Structures are given as C-alpha cells and as structure tokens.
Structure 1
C-alpha cells in the first residue's frame, strides 16, 4: 500500500548501538524504515517502498495493518528523558522529505501509542510534538475557546481524530502523552476542548 502515515517510536534501549544491532537482526523480527541516533546520525534500515515491521497490531481512523500504510521512524531514547537537540533537528529535516515524497499530511504524523494505545506508550510524554507542529510537521490543538465541553463528546472527537475507542482509558493516556503530558486524573473539560479542536484538522 502507499504510505499515508509516519509513525514515530522510541527504541527503549540503552544505546544506539544496541538499537541498531536489534533492528538489523532477522531473528528479532522487528525493524523500521529509519533509526535516528542521539547525535543526529540517521540510518535508513528499510527502503520506503518496502513494508517494515515497526507498528505491530493497531489501527488508525478505522484502518488496520499499519505497517503496510506507514513509514516507521525509531528514535534512540529510553523514554525517560528528553530527546536530544541533534536528534530532533535530524527528525525535523527528515520528515518533510518523506511527507513530500508520499504526499503525507501533517495529520498523518502520529505516535506509536496513537495506533496501539493498549500496548505502547512511545514516543512518550518527553517527546516535543509541539515543536513539530510549529514547523507544520504534525498537528496541535489551537488555543481558540468557545467549544462544547460536554464530556460525553470525548468518544466522538477522539474517534474522529483516528483513535480506536475500544479502550477509552488507554486512548486518554495516549492522547495526553501527546497533547497534555502534564495532565493527571480522570477525563476533564480541557481534554474534550483539545480533542474537539484537533477534530477539525486531523482527517487524512
């Protein structure tokens, strides 16, 4: 299939060398199209025209088989610390090239946790999604006000964005990791407001 998504991951490994060894090991049965190290070095692991095993089971906007619909980018990071400046700069250079080649919209640049919220949390709350959005490389909720804050609207908005709502609690965690990493506790009005604002711009 033609890629319509770019899925971002973290490696959850101690070193770039360990991540690279795993991603080229056939026995591991996992890889991605690109690996970006902390120092900004980019390795292409799989040709963009080929299917890489990076996403596993999941769905987005009602579509399954994410591996066949996406380009996977792994970022060397354990998940418990901010992503290096050189690494983020390399990602921000690589993304527009891929997006242009495949006509992928900013709304198609998503997290592994978005497509598999019950299994995955990467790239996690330490990843700077807002930086990407400022450069037009993904989406971010605007700051407009005056939207309906009925909490019953949450499922509708999140599903329209693309989330599979079979497990709402897992989806809320994934949504917050990307758009409100500081938020705690049960669903609140701000979750609903942000999801509704995103709903306007996230249709692929």
Structure 2
C-alpha cells in the first residue's frame, strides 16, 4: 500500500490501547481544504489517515499517537475515543456542501487499510464505527451513502441483519436499553435512534422506533448476526 506522508502537528500521547476504528467524511469543499485544516496547528483537529477521492492515502498522524478526530464521544463505555481509536477521514463534501457517493477508488484504498489495522490490533467488527455512531448528537458522517455493506462482506464491519428477523416487541425504553448495550450513547433518544438508522437502515431515517428497528437491533445483539457478510 502506497502512503503519502502528510504530517499534522495535532496529536498527543494515547492513554488507552487501540480497540476501535472511526470512519469520517471530511465535510469540506475540497481535499486541499481538508488537508489544510487537519494539518493546521491552530485548528486542533486531525486524523491518522485521509483518503482522497482518487484513492491516495495520506498519513497525518502516526498510529501510536492520539489524533484529534472524535471529539466528545462515547462507544461501549469508552469516552476517550481518541485514545482508543484510529481515525480515518474520507474526502467528501458532506451534507453541508453537496453530499455524494464515495468513489470506488476511495473504498478500494480503504478496505486493505482497514483490514491491516483491524488485524494488527485485533479490532472486532463491532468496533469499526462511523463518527455518527460515537457522537450521535453532533455528527452525521460518514453518512447514509457510505457503503457499509461492502465493508461487511469483507468482514470489516458489522453486517445489516437480513435473515431470521424477529420483532421482540420491546417498549421504546427497552429498545434504548438494548441500543445502549450494543454501544450507543442514548441520553438523547432521537439522536441515538437516528444514528442507528443511518448506520443500519439508511433508506429510512425518521427517528421512529418501529418493528424493523427492533428486529435489526435484536439480530445485531446475537453472537453471529446473519446478513450480507
């Protein structure tokens, strides 16, 4: 894998072992603007890697350092997500500047990078997440156009369950307890449900807890979710 060294000064020391990978979109109008911001000391943001739309992979921060990409976030009891994760930015203008599909070249570059990081740190599929999963009240990225199914088929992300789905008929409170058990911060009910839908049912993001949401979540909590992977 060819990697362009594009160092950022925005990092410090990790306080936790690496157990997660967080995927982002840059949400800026161009790759140049994103790189400029992520390497600007006054911006105080960074990531370990950035993947341009042509598939070029930039390394901004060494993996043994704590990059500043997650912000205030939470996943499976971890609140210092920056210390516990590798952050990967994919160039995309995002919802603010004309959200579009990620390019084949980006995903072709992302998958081997993900696989390499996953294998080296022993990261589980359930800990390969989007920024919106760990910060549902603040973030939408990488968004509903991100091809999670492609990653799932390569065992690089959790699959969307498709087989033997059963509605457990949980109350809304029961659903939120299950969602918290899966990993989400559920203090803001609507934000948590929207984040779950954006990740596992992107065709309908309405914030409503329905039978399909309950069925998907129940299947995800099983030892081996049966889906497109």
**Equivalent position of 1:127 in the other structure:** 146
Moved more, 165-174 or 181-190: 181-190
Change (3 A) 1:157 1:141: farther
1:141, 1:195 within 8 Å by CA — same for their partners in 2? no
Change (3 A) 1:183 1:46: same
Change (3 A) 1:143 1:69: same
Q: Which runs of 5+ in 1 are unaligned?
A: none
Q: For 1:181, what is the secondary structure of its paired residue? A: coil
Structure-1 separation of matches of 2:69 and 2:24: 8
**1:99 has 2:118 as partner:** yes
Q: For 1:27, what is the secondary structure of its paired residue? A: coil
1:111 to 130, 148, 170: 130
1:58 to 63, 73, 76: 73
TM-score with structure 2 length normalisation? 0.85
**1:190 has 2:205 as partner:** no
Structure-1 separation of matches of 2:223 and 2:195: 18
Q: For 1:43, what is the secondary structure of its paired residue? A: strand
Change (3 A) 1:141 1:197: farther
RMSD across aligned positions (CA)? 1.3
Alignment of 1:18-167 (within 5 A): 18-79=33-94, 80-145=99-164, 147-152=166-171, 153-167=174-188
2:24, 2:90 within 8 Å by CA — same for their partners in 1? yes
Q: Which runs of 5+ in 2 are unaligned?
A: 1-15, 225-229
Structure 1 residue 159, shift from structure 2 partner: 1.0
Moved more, 12-21 or 144-153: 144-153
Structure-2 separation of matches of 1:33 and 1:184: 30
Structure-1 separation of matches of 2:160 and 2:220: 5
Structure-1 separation of matches of 2:195 and 2:205: 12
Runs of 4+ in 1 over 4 A off after TM superposition: none
Structure 1 residue 146, shift from structure 2 partner: 5.1
- Which structure has the higher relative contact order (CA within 8 Å, separation 6+)? 1
Change (3 A) 1:8 1:59: same
